[in-house]
Amino acid sequence: MSFPTTRLRRLRRSELLRSFVQETRLSAKNFIYPLFVGPGSGVKREIASMPGNYQFSVDRVGEECREVADLGVPAVLLFGIPETKDERGSSAYGDDCIVAQAVRAIRQAVGEKLLILCDVCLCEYTSHGHCGVLKGQEVDNDATLDLLAEESLSYARAGADMVAPSDMMDGRVRAIRRALDGASLSHVSILAYSAKYASVFYGPFREAADSAPQFGDRRSYQMDPSNQREALREIALDIEEGADMVMIKPAMPYLDVICRARQEFPIPIAAYQVSGEYSMIVAAAQRGWIDRERAMMETLTAIRRAGADVILTYFAKDAARLLAC
């Protein structure tokens, strides 16, 4: 029936009515909080391009994770900042690598109150800043796979619940799954960065993780922003190779990809609201151009509405506080 019998505004009259018929709901349980861990002692250094986010030393990351757990956020994702770099990213793996140290420190601080995820890539650890071993000026896909598997084993042995390969090498999920299973670590899950686009929105992250490439760019292995169907192929292949969850990154510019993935695949889907998305909102709010809290919640709701089960976001703590009110 049409107007005047049908009046959709009836269910918008009050906050209670709007909440009663709300289609998409956010919870702190939907969030993963990214953290940057590096060398030193007593370090909590704010990242200039990502206000409100910090680089932590291993001895400080536990207290941050206690706060995250107390807010009801169920998981953190760790990125390492090594003391030294080389062409093979050797600081990314081994029992004493920075991320393995952080995993043990967090587990000691919060026990099983948080899921610990570890990003698996070489870009923070290589002297050239690319995500794999070089052969000339190109990243050698197959030579990189063993190193990614070794990196994953290091984090899993330290106690990580999940490893998250972000490198976009072909075949990395299969290599990591076989390595974990072969080391009696079949309980460790894989969250694959399956559709990771070659995006301009990673800029602030490269300061946070000191991971900018020293030459060229990453378009030969990260996805072309023009392509949607290719993203679905990437996701399907990662599921076939053993991924337990898949991710689309960035989030807001690729809501269509999140939506298509949700329609196509019966698997948990994550989306990463990346550093540039975060920093644009914060910068605009600091200038009085937008309302920070409303922009934060609107964008997170849009990502959830598109179909993401899990959202990786630097707003995780702030959003959790707001949702608890």
Nearest to 202 by CA among 137, 273, 148, 254: 273
Alpha-carbon gap, residue 259 to 159, rounded angstroms:
33
* Residue 249 falls in the annotated catalytic set: yes
Alpha-carbon gap, residue 71 to 73, rounded angstroms:
6
Distance of CA 10 to the CA centre of its chain: 39
* Residue 317 falls in the annotated catalytic set: no
Nearest to 155 by CA among 131, 129, 180, 124: 180
Q: Label residue 171 left, alpha or beta by phi (over 0 means left) and psi (-120 to 50 means alpha).
A: left
**Rg of the Cα atoms in the chain:** 20
Given the residues 113, 135, 249, 317, the one annotated as active site: 249
- Output the CA–CA distances (angstroms, integers) from residue 283 to 5, 130, 271, in the order listed: 45, 28, 22
Entry field: residues in the chain? 325
Residue 17 backbone dihedrals phi, psi, to 5 degrees:
-65, -45
Distance of CA 182 to the CA centre of its chain: 26
Alpha-carbon gap, residue 312 to 316, rounded angstroms:
8
Given the residues 29, 85, 135, 196, the one annotated as active site: 196
Work out the angle between the directed axes of helices 255-264 and 292-306 (0-180°, nearest 10). 30
| Catalytic residue IDs | 196, 249
